[in-house]
């Protein structure tokens, strides 16, 4: 089983990488500038998301939006962090994947929560295109949250006593 120290080191590393990458973008890429990395596939941009994932609530104004976004994100992050702390040593291999998944969720949530509290918006800078579809821009924290959620879902199918066919 991955130790508590290692679990929180993963979470901290994600939050630090997220903040460092956002700081670099904020200081080196102009607002709404677009730098093509792979034509028609991947760009580096600098956008500010005042809403939740995919811009939900971005157009809402006032303290209620701010309180909702920060309150919900902080509550969920604290709950997941407590679960990560309490994880017992497991005997099945998927336990390590659950620990990594929860660490990714905590680190990603911390990265975006920092932005919401201290900046009022989240810096997104990765822009991906799949054919003519443009995926909503995202960042390191969003990526960690997505990967963590996928790992968590995959690990649920591998629970002890359960066969996967």
SS3 category, 35: strand
> C-alpha dihedral over 97, 139, 78, 155, to 10 degrees?
-20
Among 18, 33, 115, 142, the one annotated catalytic:
142
Among 18, 33, 115, 124, the one annotated catalytic:
124
Q: Is residue 124 flagged as an active site residue?
A: yes
Q: Are 7 and 89 in contact (CB under 8 A)?
A: no
- Spatial separation of the C-alpha atoms in residues 163 and 80, rounded to whole Å: 27
Cβ neighbours of residue 75 under 8 Å, at least 6 residues apart?
none
User: DSSP state, 138?
Assistant: B
Q: Is residue 115 flagged as an active site residue?
A: no
Active site residues: 124, 142
């Amino acid at each position: 089983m991955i130790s508590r120290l290692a679990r929180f080191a993963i979470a901290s590393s994600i939050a630090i990488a997220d903040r460092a990458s956002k700081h670099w973008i904020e200081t080196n890429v102009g607002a709404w500038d677009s730098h093509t990395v792979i034509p028609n596939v991947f760009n580096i941009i600098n956008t500010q998301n005042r809403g939740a994932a995919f811009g939900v609530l971005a157009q809402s104004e006032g303290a209620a939006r701010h309180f909702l976004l920060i309150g919900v994100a902080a509550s969920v992050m604290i709950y997941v962090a407590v679960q990560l702390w309490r994880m017992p040593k497991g005997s099945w291999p998927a336990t390590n994947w659950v620990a990594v998944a929860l660490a990714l969720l905590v680190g990603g949530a911390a990265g975006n929560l920092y932005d919401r509290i201290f900046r009022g918006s989240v810096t997104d800078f990765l822009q991906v295109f799949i054919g003519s579809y443009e995926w909503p821009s995202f960042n390191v924290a969003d990526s960690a949250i997505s990967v963590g959620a996928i790992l968590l879902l995959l690990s649920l199918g591998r629970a002890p006593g359960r066969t996967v066919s």
